[in-house]
């Protein structure tokens, strides 16, 4: 199947790859001679939760591969309750596709999986983009019961994407307006959509977050082994995974550039999608051993 | 005088502008239709301390104006012992040149002066770049007596630029190598150099740092009024003005993007001069009301 045709997450068909354990759903579009960019998704998100404004812009210069891990959408299997377990599925998927080395965009939960993969098999990634995520041993990772999130998650007047708009964007007029535009973009795909995640997905992934907050030995010492050029991005008003976690990531990863955006929350990459796509493309186009681009 | 000719800080002649109070030394080079970029210098630095790798790259797309404040180099007058006093000299200089609105690159001490100017006369700046600096009420600003700095500043074997290499760059092989290259670039200018600053300059500027650490009322509340699109940059291992100050700046300025560089100290913009010039040029070329670029 041509990857240039339907080079948009609004229209790209969902594909499937069978491995020895599971069958994984994915979408693959765009073209380029560079490494493909594998995108690892956030809490309960499916392939349909990738903003086409981001994925399509990135697909102009490279192949973009959106991955649906086990137990999500139409992928078979069970959602693991550890990041390490999720990393194994991502490896099985990439091995199944025959991708030996790629770039990665890990958003939120996906950024944790990317860190785990970089430690388990460094050769899998050339360059890493970690957005709205946290190192092992980070703090305040996806505590949905805290007041600033619970007031939206427990509001019966908010349903579906309306909740996402509230919790992914800052409570300013400008950020909420960007959130509404984001929701509209997600809604453009009308056919071949993925099933929405249920509570079993959420429970397993939340268990993985609780485990990821624990650490043994020297805090953040494990990051010293991740030598990949890395771009870390966070919105300054992120209530789901606060920006402090990105400060720790960029201060302890030996080769990371940090970028923060104002007036934005967890979905900063979607709010400032033009800037993010430009920065990410420039970062991925660089071939230096050092992260600054 | 043509500003295209000698469009380099290695060769641009030092010029002088007489105002009602003082005569200020400056250099002006480059060309472009955009706003000129005024550069405000670090502790004890003269016009000769601007890295041509940074200034010349930026001058490819715009006019660059390097300003020497009162009591520095060949500028007349006395160094003020407050940031507010230094801001007054910068206004007098720009008024003297007839520059009603410009972009600004404020490095270290210069970044504090830029913040003060943005508050005192918002129309003076279109976009701001603040590197290795701190908000009023910041912490650990230029404490030269702390062990990590004193060991170099008090080392009789280190003289002149050799000290600068140690304290502006991280104690890694790669950062020190970049520091040596920086020193070499500064040394390329052989004629028409400025007198080196003496202890009277240092004492007055250190007094200004001590005053800048003090605050009254709500900490960082004064930053809420600076609405200019701002790019904040810091090296992750900055011992002179630690990165925490840039976290505070970007978290409290309402319209700021933060960029941090790995493996670098106070002179991060000089260490990664190609990346910095590219990022700064992209930021300055943007015309959005929002900082992300």
Confidence of residue A5 (pLDDT cuts 50, 70, 90): low
Chain B residues within an 8 Å CB radius of A282: 278
Average pLDDT over residues A47-51: 98
Mean pLDDT of chain B: 96
**Does residue B1 register a pLDDT over 70?**
no
Rounded CA-CA distance B79/B46 in Å is 13
Q: Do B290 and A263 touch (CB under 8 A)?
A: yes
Q: Do A262 and B272 touch (CB under 8 A)?
A: no
Nearest CA in chain B to A175: B290
Exposure of A188 by Cβ count < 10 A (0-12 exposed, 13-18 middle, 19+ buried)?
exposed
> Is this structure's pTM higher than 0.95?
yes
DSSP code per residue over A225-286:
G--S-EEEEEETT-SSS-THHHHHHHHHSTTEEEEEESS--TTHHHHTHHHHHHHHHHHHH-
Which of B150, B266, B171 is closest to B158 using CA atoms? Answer: B150
Q: Do A260 and B255 touch (CB under 8 A)?
A: no
Average pLDDT over residues B117-136: 98
Nearest CA in chain B to A259: B259
Nearest CA in chain A to B254: A262
Interacting residues of B252 by C-beta distance below 8 A, sequence separation 6+? B135, B220, B223, B224
DSSP code per residue over B74-130:
T--S---SSHHHHHHHHHHHHHHHT--SEEEEEETHHHHHHHHHHHH-GGGEEEEEE
Predicted-complex ipTM score: 0.96
Chain B residues within an 8 Å CB radius of A272: 290, 292
Q: Do B262 and A293 touch (CB under 8 A)?
A: no
Render pLDDT for A231-246 as a digit per residue (tens, 0 to 9).
Answer: 999 999 999 999 999 9
pLDDT of residue B2: 45
pLDDT of residue A3: 47
Degrees, nearest 5: CA angle A249-A251-A257? 80
Render pLDDT for B146-195 as a digit per residue (tens, 0 to 9).
Answer: 999 999 999 999 988 999 999 999 999 999 999 999 999 999 999 999 99
Average pLDDT over residues A263-279: 98
Cα distance from A137 to chain B (closest Cα, Å)?
20
**Does residue B5 register a pLDDT over 70?**
no
Which of B202, B60, B38, B207 is closest to B107 using CA atoms? Answer: B38
Render pLDDT for A148-163 as a digit per residue (tens, 0 to 9).
Answer: 999 999 999 998 899 9
Residues of B engaging A, defined by a Cβ cutoff of 8 Å: 174, 236, 243, 247, 250-251, 253-263, 272, 274-276, 278, 282, 290-293
Rounded to the nearest 5°, which phi and psi values hold at A205? -70, -35
Which of B150, B277, B186, B199 is closest to B43 using CA atoms? Answer: B199
**Does residue A25 register a pLDDT over 80?**
yes
Report percent pLDDT > 90 for chain B. 96
**Does residue B4 register a pLDDT over 70?**
no
Q: Do A257 and B259 touch (CB under 8 A)?
A: yes
Confidence of residue A1 (pLDDT cuts 50, 70, 90): very low
Interacting residues of A171 by C-beta distance below 8 A, sequence separation 6+? A237
Nearest CA in chain B to A247: B247
Chains A and B: how many Cβ contacts under 8 Å? 68
Contact B211, B31 (CB under 8 A): no
């Amino acid at each position: 199947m041509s990857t240039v045709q339907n080079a948009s997450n609004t229209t790209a068909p969902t594909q499937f790859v069978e491995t020895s354990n599971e069958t994984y759903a994915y979408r693959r579009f765009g073209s380029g001679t560079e490494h493909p960019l594998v995108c690892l998704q956030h809490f309960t998100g499916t392939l349909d939760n990738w903003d086409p404004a981001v994925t399509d812009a990135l697909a102009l210069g490279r192949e973009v591969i959106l991955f649906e891990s086990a137990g999500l959408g139409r992928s078979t299997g069970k959602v693991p309750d550890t990041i390490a377990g999720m990393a194994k599925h991502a490896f099985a998927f990439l091995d199944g596709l025959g991708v030996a080395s790629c770039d990665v965009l890990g958003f939120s939960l996906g950024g944790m999986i990317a860190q785990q993969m970089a430690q388990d098999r460094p050769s899998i990634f050339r360059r890493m983009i970690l957005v709205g995520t946290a190192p092992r041993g980070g703090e305040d990772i996806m505590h949905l019961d805290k007041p600033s999130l619970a007031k939206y998650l427990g509001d019966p007047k908010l349903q579906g994407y309306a909740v996402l708009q509230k919790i992914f964007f800052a409570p300013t007029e400008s950020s909420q307006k960007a959130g509404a535009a984001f929701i509209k973009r997600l809604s453009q795909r009308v056919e071949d959509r993925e099933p929405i995640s249920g509570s079993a997905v959420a429970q397993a992934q939340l268990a993985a977050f609780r485990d990821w907050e624990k650490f043994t030995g020297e805090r953040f010492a494990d990051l010293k082994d991740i030598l990949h050029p890395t771009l870390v991005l966070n919105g300054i008003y992120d209530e789901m995974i606060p920006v402090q976690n990105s400060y720790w990531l960029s201060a302890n990863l030996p080769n990371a550039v940090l970028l923060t955006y104002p007036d934005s929350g967890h979905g900063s990459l979607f709010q400032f999608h033009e800037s993010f796509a430009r920065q990410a493309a420039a970062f991925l186009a660089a071939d230096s051993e050092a992260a600054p681009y």
